[in-house]
Amino acid sequence: MTETLIAAFMTFLVVLDPAGIVPIFAGLSAAFPAVERRRAAIRGVAIASGILIVFALVGETLLELLGIGLPAFRIAGGVLLLLLSIDMVMARQSGLRATTPGEHEESTHRTDISVFPLAIPLIAGPGAMTSVVLLMGRAHGLYQQAAVLGVLIGVLVLTLICLLLTGPAMRLLGVTGANVISRVSGIILAALAVQFVIDGVRTVWPAS
């Protein structure tokens, strides 16, 4: 149980990457008054939370309807998270957890950034959606699944706190500090991603 919770916390913390979102959010909301920035942060986290909780509850069922086994999803998800970890270690942004250049251009003309790009893809991106399905699949019983959901909500609350403290956080960390945290987190995520792949392979080809 403890191992499951620790794995869930580390995975969600790394994939949601509250410290990494702060400088992006700061740039997107630079022209916003403080009240509007706070409102966008709260709305964005609320929307992302709804999306991720829905994925947690029905993600495995959806896979079954599509004829996709959980072992295959573990392997594919592990590869996706490994690519994401490489981006984090290299301190570069890609469409996996940030906006593409075209999406960024579109976002600069929006008066409301809470749905796009804040909720999707900055918070509830492909990596986060994949992680929540994988971790719910690894949890045994309703008690462990509820615990994983509790950890997810806790990390989302932490993300909201970081967004609400965008100004002080940027003064404290700066871009370099945020990149250092992202690099260290990327190394941890790479190990977790490889473990997902190993779990999937072991399920398909169990040791004799």
- pLDDT band of residue 208 (cuts 50, 70, 90) is very low
Which tens digit of pLDDT belongs to each residue from 186-201? 787 788 788 888 988 8
Question: Each residue of 52-70: pLDDT tens digit?
Answer: 999 999 988 888 898 888 8
Q: DSSP assignment, residue 117?
A: I
Q: pLDDT band at residue 101, thresholds of 50, 70 and 90?
A: low
Burial class from Cβ neighbours inside 10 Å (0-12, 13-18, 19+) for residue 164 reads: middle
Q: Which residues of 64-80 are buried (b: 16+ CB within 10 A; e: fewer)?
A: eeeeeebbebbbbbbbb
Q: What DSSP string describes 51-88? A: HHHHHHHHHHHHHHHTT--HHHHHHHHHHHHHHHHHHH
pLDDT tens digits along 68-84: 888 888 888 888 888 87
